[in-house]
Amino acid sequence: RSMAARMKSKIYEPEDYFPYFMIIMSVVQVIALIIQCIVGGIAPIKLSPDLETANAINFYQYPRKVQAYGDANIFVGPPIQEVIWQGAKYAPCMRQDQVLYENQQAQISAEHAFGCCQLEMNDGAVHCGQTARDNCETSRVIFDPRWNTTRCSSLVRCDRVTLRPCCVSIYGQCALLTESICAGLHGVFHDDKERCGDVDCMDGVCGMGGFSGAGGFNDEPSQWWRFIIPVSLHGGIIHLIMNLTFQLSVGVQLERSSGWLRIFLIYWVCGIGANAFSGIFGPYTAQVGASGALYGLISVNLIMLWQEWAWLENPCAEVLKAVVVTIISLYIGTLPWVDNWAHIGGFLYGIMAGFVFLPYLNLKKRRHFKVLLVSVNFALLVSCSVLFWVLFYKIQATDFCPGCEYLNCIPYSENFCENAHQTLQWFPELDEYAFR
């Protein structure tokens, strides 16, 4: 019995085949989300984060207000920081990001001129903090003769170091702030360090180890497994339900038609390739979910339709249905937490992987064309993977597609895309917050 006959029989007279891979992946993803929510909690369920205002005290013990965006997750799941900790695709945790590294090195260079600023309070206590000399108001500050080189911890007249490194945002930015200002900015206060060069904020953002440096800002992230782990994670309950709906319908049918091994290979090749593609175009967007792999299955479904065209009762209706699903999924990708770059990457990988791994029902008599098709797509698969590796790790260009951020998140309301973190946000003025 020919391969075409056996495959046709599977499609129209399904055998009693249990879709092991799709069921196992679905169970793993459900368990993973439960663990995500238990460990990371549930962020406020809203379309966009609120700009929160908090009361704080600056270095001179004057009251001031600070503002920062809170958490929001429309899909009913953990906040973004927790999702990054859990293994989301996030380029600054996977490579030494050139822009972040330059900003951090500039800050370390500036700290070479820092000294200990001492402030004598009304009760006689002396508060200290590392800063530039210009930030010290000389009318109220006692300067040590070794001000340019001395750390506060080495001074006798220093009752309390009130300025400490504060790691703010998921970009690993550090500023020397008071503890109350750091809390108002939702930062992480390091009460055992004196300068930002003493801490590694990105290690705190990423977690999971994998930093190859010796500490501080010299650490080089190398968490390559973030290309793989996100396929099993999701941004929330609604996100998971949407993906499982497709996975347990189209995915199961494809596994019944093609077997678990072929679908296993296609699923993971597309999932990993989608994360690589997303890392190039949206490096600062934390991405989780099986959407890239499922978009690969959409490509495979279209290839199957092409192969089965003569056997289908209404092939045009099947193609229309696949197109509608694709358009709806792309629209959903304009919401935060869902990455359209991963969708596009998964779709492209799905075309190549589909032609490489799928059985060929209608090319039995055209063996040379079949061999050519497999060879070309295998070469494209390898070439694209190498190209994406070079673009992600070596070139790191993010400005070659102006306006493309709207493909990934459309601001349907004010601050709607704030949690999407599509572009790098670095705030030089943070260094002055403690003195305002």
- Active site residue ranges: 291, 343
Instruction: Give the CB-side neighbour count of residue 146, counting CA atoms within 13 A.
Output: 8
Q: Which amino acid is residue 174, in one-letter code?
A: C
Sheet order of strands, 141-142 included: 141-142, 115-120, 126-131, 160-161
Question: What are the distances in angstroms from CA 7 to CA 2, 4, 10, 22?
Answer: 9, 5, 5, 19
CB 380 within 8 A of CB 352: yes
Sheet order of strands, 173-177 included: 173-177, 164-168, 188-189
Question: What are the distances in angstroms from CA 396 to CA 91, 99, 111, 422, 423?
Answer: 10, 9, 27, 15, 13
Map tokens 């460990």 to a residue: 39
Q: Distance between CA 279 and CA 285 in Å, rounded?
A: 8
Q: Distance between CA 104 and CA 44 in Å, rounded?
A: 32
**DSSP letters along 334-374, please?**
TSTT--HHHHHHHHHHHHHHHHHHS--SS-TT-HHHHHHHH
Token representation of residue 276: 């690589």
Q: Which helix (H) or strand (E) holds 157?
A: none
Orientation of helix 367-390 relative to helix 260-281, angle to 10°: 40
CB 266 within 8 A of CB 292: no
- In terms of phi and psi (left: phi > 0; alpha: psi -120 to 50; beta: otherwise), the region of 184 is alpha
Name residues whose C-beta falls within 8 Å of residue 259's C-beta, 6 or more positions apart in sequence: none
Give the strand pairing for 126-131 and 160-161: parallel
Map tokens 């108001």 to a residue: 137
